[in-house]
Amino acid sequence: MGKLQEKIYNSMPYALKFILLNIKAYQNSKQRYTKEFEQYLDEYIGLWNANAEVINKYQKQRLILLLSESLEYSDWYSRIMNELGINKEEITKDPYAVLGKMPILEKIDRKTNPEIIVNKKRNTDGVGYTSGTSGAPTINYLDSESIHRSFALWRRFHKAIGLETKRVKQVRFSGRLIVRPDAEKSPFWVYNYFENQLLMSTYHLKESNLKHYIKKLNNFKPVLLDGYPSAIYIMSRYINENNITLDFTPKAIAVTAETLYDYQRFEIEKAFNCHVYNQYASSEGSPFITECIKGNLHLNTDSGVFEFINTVGEKAKPGEVAQLVVTSFTNLKTPLIRYSIGDTVLLAKEGKTCDCGCVMPIIEKLTGREDDILWTQEKGYVGRMDTAYKGLQGIVKSQIIQESPKEIVVNVIANDEFSSAMQEMLLHNLKDRLGHKIDYQINQVDEIPLGPNGKFDAVKRNFPIEL
């Protein structure tokens, strides 16, 4: 939504907001849920339970298609492939060897060259933008097949965790501006009739408003809660601290767009008496990673090719934290070939498998964005800082900001249980994980602003490092 459109929307009465949102929802539904969508959904559901031979054959075919179209119709990739002497015959014979020859696509190139990266054969049927965590959103051109395939993969994830594939009664928490940012009275939500979806604002989750959110949830009784884990966690903590018993139990909670921390999962599952399923995708069109009913994260290898690079630039080994380099089949209009997407994962130990019925490979954990990784001279690269809060009481919300290799700022929203002893314990935990030769500053604050698109950054590093 552009700034002018946003300003006009925010100034409208609630009834008009409802009408406009549902007009847009109707248009989206007509575009997304077509015969092609149904065809792709059936295809992907079949692949989820297929054997490795079938999945590998499918992945190879999709890779050949992606590389062939990129050679012929993308100015960016055709130049690279021509310089490398890559031709259509070589792609068809061994697409994985061709993929290995391709250079890594960096974020700066993806951001600044979308018009020459695009596949000119395919129509532009949609235009999207990333949330712009670096301050400048990236434009994303989509064709109709890419739109249908992405939504089919998302619905396949729902099917795999026991939900219906269409019109699941759900609540969604995302960074969309549903109501005025300065609104002080409910409603803080708008109902999307065409998706059977209650869109709840992530910008109004103050303690004084949470009782209104809980009342609406009890009335609506969603089957699925979906969206940012930080938002669902805030509500869950409120429910648990006030011993609130909900009038419903959802079948699933699916979180995305932010790193899911273990303490968040614990509070959410306790509050809603329901399993939290993690998932990974991106508005840029990355391949999917989804959690199954056994709690394992599966690489959806029918949606792309995953490569894992460790902190010294080599192929990561089982059990290591690795950067994701992805080649995606979910956006054929704006091809991503060996794209360094800036996210990190913890690889599973060698030989680990899952008995959920899906044979696609698994990873241990989604560890976060590259910006979530801190670096100090004493400790080197450090991720998953949520363990620093283990055993502490009184912290409602906190954010770690690394301004330089020797300067850490921690902003804490605290309640009465956060004593000087708790602050000393937090400082001790930080020193254990990041080192003693650092200037630590712990600030108690009333509010921590959300990042771009309503996301909460639990960890921020404000200087570049070489990974």
The whole-number pLDDT of residue 133 equals: 44
**Could you give the 3-state DSSP secondary structure of residue 273?**
coil
Q: In CATH, what is the architecture of 373-461?
A: 2-Layer Sandwich (3.30)
d(CA 252, CA 161): 8
60-79 mean pLDDT = 98
Instruction: State yes or no: pLDDT of 295 exceeds 90.
Output: yes
**How far from the centroid of its chain's Cα atoms is residue 207's Cα?**
26
Query: Is residue 134's pLDDT more than 60?
Result: no
What is the rounded end-to-end Cα distance, in angstroms, of the chain?
34
Provide the whole-model pTM.
0.84
Higher pLDDT, 380 or 87: 87
Burial environment of residue 428 by CB neighbours within 10 A (0 to 12, 13 to 18, 19 or more): exposed
DSSP 8-state secondary structure symbol assigned to residue 300: -
The DSSP line for 354-376 is --SS--S-EEEEEEEEGGG-EEE
Q: How many CB atoms lie within 10 A of CB 262?
A: 12
Q: Are 370 and 428 spatial neighbours (Cβ–Cβ below 8 Å)?
A: no
User: Beta partners for 443?
Assistant: 411
- Quick check: 362 and 294 in contact, CB under 8 A? no
Rounded Cα–Cα distance for residues 110 and 139 (Å): 9
| Residue 181 in this model has a pLDDT that exceeds 80 | no
Q: Are strands 189-192 and 252-255 parallel, antiparallel or unpaired?
A: unpaired
CA distances (Å), origin 237, targets 229, 257, 300: 12, 20, 32
CA atoms within 13 A on the CB side of 62: 24
Pairing of strands 197-201, 189-192: antiparallel
- In angstroms, the CA 65 to CA 80 distance is 17
Count the Cβ atoms, other than its own, within 10 Å of residue 405.
18
Q: Is 155 exposed, middle or buried (0-12, 13-18, 19+ CB in 10 A)?
A: buried
Examine residue 187 and say whether the peptide bond preceding it is cis (omega within 30 degrees of 0): yes
Distance, CA of 360 to CA of 297 (rounded, Å): 10
Q: List Cα–Cα distances, 22 to 15, 227, 252, in angstroms.
A: 11, 19, 25
φ, ψ for residue 201 (rounded to 5)?
-75, 140
Task: At 26, list the tokens.
Answer: 């109707």
pLDDT digits (tens, 9 = 90+) for 31-40: 788 899 999 9
Least confident interval from 179-193, 324-338, 448-462: 448-462
Q: What is the separation of C-alpha 108 from the centre of its chain, rounded to a whole number of angstroms?
A: 20
Find the largest Cα–Cα distance for the chain.
69
Average pLDDT over residues 216-239: 94
Domain 3-370 is classified in which CATH homologous superfamily? Answer: ANL, N-terminal domain (3.40.50.12780)
Residue 318 has pLDDT above 50, yes or no: yes
Calculate what percentage of the chain has a pLDDT beyond 90. Answer: 57
- The pLDDT of residue 417 is above 60: yes
Predicted confidence (pLDDT) at residue 83 exceeds the cutoff of 50: yes
Gyration radius (Cα) of the chain, Å:
23
Among 213, 156, 220, which Cα is nearest to 193's?
A: 220
Q: Quote the pLDDT of residue 29.
A: 81
Give the pLDDT mean for 49-73: 97
Spatial separation of the C-alpha atoms in residues 17 and 192, rounded to whole Å: 11
φ/ψ of residue 118, rounded to 5: -60, 155
Place of tokens 């900001």: 401
Per residue in 333-350, pLDDT (tens digit) is 999 999 999 888 999 998
Q: Which residues contact 321 (CB under 8 A, 6 or more apart)?
A: 310, 311, 344, 345, 346, 347, 367, 381, 383
Lowest mean pLDDT among 123-137, 319-333, 429-443: 123-137
Q: What are the structural domain ranges in the chain?
A: 3-370, 373-461
229-261: pLDDT as tens digits: 988 998 999 999 999 999 999 999 999 888 898
Please provide the DSSP assignment of 180-235 as one string.
-TT--SS--EEEEGGGTEEEEESS---HHHHHHHHHHHHHH--SEEEE-HHHHHHH
Say whether 156 sits in a helix, a strand or coil.
helix
